[in-house]
Structure formats: C-alpha cells, structure tokens
DNA sequence: CTATTAAAAGACTAAAAGGTCTTTTAATAT
DNA sequence: ATATTAAAAGACCTTTTAGTCTTTTAATAG
C-alpha cells in the first residue's frame, strides 16, 4: 500500500507516540528495533520528519523523539503526502490524465468509491489515534509494531 | 495505483483488443502512440506479455498483436500479478507481517474492506470487458486511452 | 570542564524501476 | 528470391528507492 519509507515513518511515529504516553522519549536504536526497520535508515527518516516539523527531538543524554503536546493530532495523510508527494490517491485507477465523472475511464465508476474510502482512511486516522488503538484493554501488547 | 509497467501493459492490452474488435492487429508504434507510452518500453512490455501467453503476435508485413479468440476473457488481475508479483493487494495496510482478524493492526478493520473491493475490481474486470466499455453509444471515442 | 550520549548532516552504495537503442529473426508482398 | 516490414532479443543507460556508514553537533550527567 505505502512505500517502505512511508511505512517506517508511520510505524516510527506511532511507536514514539506510544512511548510518549508512558512519559518516555525513545531514541533511534530503540525505535528501529521495535518497528523492525534498518537502524540507519530509520535514523534518516526520523530526522527528516523532525525537519519537516512533524515531531521534536533532543540530542544528548535523555534525548530522543517526542511530540509537541500542544499541537493537534497528526493525520497520517500529512505524513504520507510529505513523503510520497501530492499525487497520492488522487489519480485515475487506469493511469489516464483526463478521467473524471464526465469522461470516465472504464474503471472510474468502480474505482472512485475505493479511492474515496482510502482518502477517508488516511484523513481520519492520526498518529495519536493509532497509538491509542494499540492499547487494547489498557495495556500495550509488546512487539505489536514489528513487521 | 499500479506501477508504470502495469499501467502501460493494461492500456496496451485494452487498445489491442479494441482494434481486434475492428478486425485490426496494431503494431508497437501505433500502440505506444495511442496509449501515450514510450515506444521502446512499450515494445519490451508487449513482448513480455506475449512470452507470458497473454496474447499473440505476428512478425512481418500485416503483423502485430492480437488475442486468441478461443481463449477466455483475461481478468486484469492476472496481468497485474504477472508484473507486480503475488503480494499485490494482500498485505497489511500498515506493513505488518502478522496482521489478521485475530491480531489486527490499528488500520486493519478499516483497510480490509477496501482491499476486498480492490480485489473484486481487478478480478471482475477483464481486458475484453474494458475494451467493450470504451464503446460508448456504439462508437469508440478517439484518443481515450491517452494518459 | 569533560566524558558520554544521542541526534544531525551528509557522503556513499545497492537494487529496482523505468526507459533507450541496436541487432537479429521471421513473415509476406512483389 | 529479395526487399520490406515488424516483432524478438538483448545490451545498455538513467532515475528513484532503499539502505549503509562516518563525521559532526549539541545536550547533560558527573
């Protein structure tokens, strides 16, 4: 569904938020292990996300990644778009530039509602709501974010 | 939705079938122009499709690509799978290896029905049904397969 | 103040996807 | 038979995605 970078980014962000809820600021080594992603690649990705303003980080002892609690919840759509670009889930299912309700490609009628559902899904789910969803029965199952 | 090769393959196959219905066997130059794809890349892709048995071709004068009318209609799923592999539209939306109804990832409940719809779409639509769908009001609109 | 810790920066490599081009093979019209 | 046409084969190139690693910067605990 998503490319690798997006996958790692989403899993990383959700893991950070899960730990933040416990008052912890995880670092790259911990994050990469828990989300089952390559160490250095995870580092690069998390750093890009900080530069893009999705979350904060601190260097040095007791450093790590964390969310600014004053900010609104972060829809995963924002992350996906920042990584994969504007085109995501807006194009024609058949790859035609000109395809709409007036001049539909043969797949349009069937694909349009699917595309809408995907858009709803990535708009309505946030890093925070997903992190909360991992707490089934009040406790986070270990290793759940591993691929 | 699909990668470039799959897009070109599907558009190419539908174009061939549209022309076949008119008793014609288009060649690579014509196909690549009509589906708005790179000439040599289109050639390579069409040739792979022939080697995989999806359609037939003839060399030399009056040569070109065409479908074996004795064969069943070709679901686009078969083409997609041959190009993109088995994994297509079967994985977890969140990229987790272990994600099912029993141990769902936070997106599972929302993504599962979408994935099912996509699977239905690619199973039920065939190259032949799409080619017929392009004939709106009995006549094929020109340039409709251009991207 | 300094050793340690951990993120930031950025150079580099590998693999896959996307695309180009030339040469060879085969069909057929003349 | 042969010139012409068009697919087949396959070598190459470019870009993007994925991943690795080293060096630098900054925070803080002692």
- The mean of the pLDDT values for chain B is 88
- The average pLDDT across B42-50 equals 98
CA distance A49 to chain B (A): 18
**How high is the pLDDT of residue B141?**
43
- Flag if B7 and A118 touch (Cβ within 8 Å): no
Contact predicate B99/A134, CB 8 Å: no
Which of these, B76, B61, B68, B59, lies nearest to B12 by C-alpha position? B76
Which of these, A46, A107, A61, A115, lies nearest to A87 by C-alpha position? A115
- Flag if A114 and B113 touch (Cβ within 8 Å): no
Q: Which nucleotides of D are covered by protein (CB under 7 A)?
A: 4-11, 17-22, 25-29
Closest residue of B to A89, CA-based? B1
CA of A138 to C1' of C16 (A): 42
CA of B87 to C1' of C27 (A): 40
- Burial of residue A72 (CB within 10 Å: 0-12, 13-18, 19+) is exposed
Least confident of A7-16, A85-94, B8-17, B123-132: A85-94
Tell me the pLDDT tens digit for each residue of A57-77.
999 999 999 999 999 999 999
Distance CA A124, CA A121 (A): 5
**How high is the pLDDT of residue A46?**
98
Name the pLDDT band for B80 (thresholds 50, 70, 90).
very high
Distance CA B32, CA B11 (A): 10
Residues from chain B that touch A117, judged by Cβ atoms under 8 A, are 113-114, 117
CA distance B21 to chain A (A): 17
Tell me the pLDDT tens digit for each residue of A11-58.
999 999 999 999 999 999 999 999 999 999 999 999 999 999 999 999
Q: What angle do CA B94, B120, A84 make, to 5 degrees?
A: 35
């Amino acid at each position: 569904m998503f490319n690798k970078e997006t996958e790692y980014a989403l899993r990383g962000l959700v893991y950070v938020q899960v730990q933040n809820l416990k008052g912890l600021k995880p670092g790259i080594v911990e994050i990469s292990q828990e989300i089952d992603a390559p160490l250095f690649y995870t580092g690069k990705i998390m750093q890009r996300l900080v530069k893009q303003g999705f979350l904060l980080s601190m260097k040095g002892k007791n450093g790590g990644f964390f969310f600014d609690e004053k900010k609104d919840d972060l829809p995963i759509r924002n992350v996906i778009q920042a990584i994969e670009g504007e085109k995501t889930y807006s194009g024609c299912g058949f790859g035609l530039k000109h395809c709409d309700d007036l001049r539909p490609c043969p797949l349009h009628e069937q694909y349009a509602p699917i595309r809408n559902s995907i858009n709803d899904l990535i708009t309505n789910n946030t890093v925070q709501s997903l992190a909360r969803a991992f707490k089934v029965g009040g406790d986070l199952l270990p290793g759940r974010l591993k691929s």
